[in-house]
Amino acid sequence: MTSMDLDAPLGCQLYTLPEEALRTVAQHASAMDVCHLAKVCRSLRWLAKDDTVWRSKYVDVYGDVDTVKEHLDAAGLAPHVSLAASSEPTIEWWQRYAERYQVARDVDHDEEADELHAQTTLQANGECYYLLAFICYVANAFRPALALLEMGRDADDTYTPIDELEAEVIQLVEKAEGTGDDVPLLAGRHLSDELARVLTDIFQGFDQDGDQHLSLDELDAFIFFSNGQHAPREFLQHFAANYGADAGRLTLDGFLAFFLQQTLDDPEETRKDLAKHGWNGRTLQKEPASAL
């Protein structure tokens, strides 16, 4: 690096730094200072519209609302959680920052300003992210929950409930995805292709007449084989209606829907059920007849 001319304006001294170093300086400087640097030194004007710089500033001031919204979208929760996106996704970050700053300046009353801030700014504290992650966890959206917990830890690494919930979510994910040579039971919030294939085979084994449905008698045979007990008629009717019935008979989609719900809640229970029906619950392969 060449030596700086101490008699030159500060902006021109900074010009001798590498671009990444300049970005780092700009990210730690105030927005007004960045604009001033760009104004006094033509060679630094690119900083005034640099996406990396202004995205960092936007997130620091207003929170990373867009990333949080992406995780909520992945969890299927965005329509149910009031969290506005920062702006149109097609505009550049310096424009977002300027737009958001101008809106805040245009608000005359403190009460209105507080309401605007609450609606468009993500609180930079661990509890905020924890609550969003917990909502995802309850909705069985484990990966988005983990991502939000990580964001919460970045905001406040002293908020211990984040560690507790993260440990619980990781335990569920490991059970669903397996460890070592285990075949995953889930792909996101859906059954894995491997598990769906095995369950379809089991379903067809109880579909005695081959009509792609389980009658109440066929469903009862499945439950008896799984649990060693017959189910009351009312339970069978409710089961079929709850998960997917056609003329009172359980459909394959309904059968898979039941196992999806069970697997999201308790992956180990599904692996045990597979073993009862002659499949290896870890590898999802058919067991040899001698092993049954």
- List, for residues 191-241, the tens digit of each pLDDT value: 999 999 999 999 999 999 999 999 999 999 999 999 999 999 999 999 999
Query: Does 1 map to a domain?
Result: no
Choice between 69 and 237, residue whose per-residue pLDDT is larger:
237
pLDDT for the residue numbered 95? 63
pLDDT for the residue numbered 4? 41
- C-alpha span between 130 and 151 (Å, rounded): 9
Burial of 88-108, coded b for 16+ CB within 10 Å and e otherwise, reads: eeeeebbebbeebeeeeeeee
Six token digits for residue 189: 């919030």
Domain limits at 41?
A: 10-49
Confidence check: pLDDT of 180 > 70: yes
Q: Do 137 and 201 belong together in one domain? A: no
**What total of structural domains would you count in the chain?**
3
- Give the closest residue to 211 by CA, choosing from 154, 252, 256, 182: 252
Of 143, 177, 211, which residue sits at a domain end? Answer: 177
Q: Please give the model's pTM, rounded to 2 decimal places.
A: 0.60
Section 63-74 average pLDDT: 74
Q: Do 201 and 238 belong together in one domain? A: yes
Confidence check: pLDDT of 97 > 70: no
Q: What is the DSSP annotation of 219-238?
A: HHHHHHHHHSSPPPHHHHHH
Query: Does 55 map to a domain?
Result: no
- What is the percentage of the chain residues whose pLDDT exceeds 90? 38
Assign residue 84 the CATH number of its domain.
1.25.40
Confidence check: pLDDT of 120 > 50: no
Query: Does 54 map to a domain?
Result: no
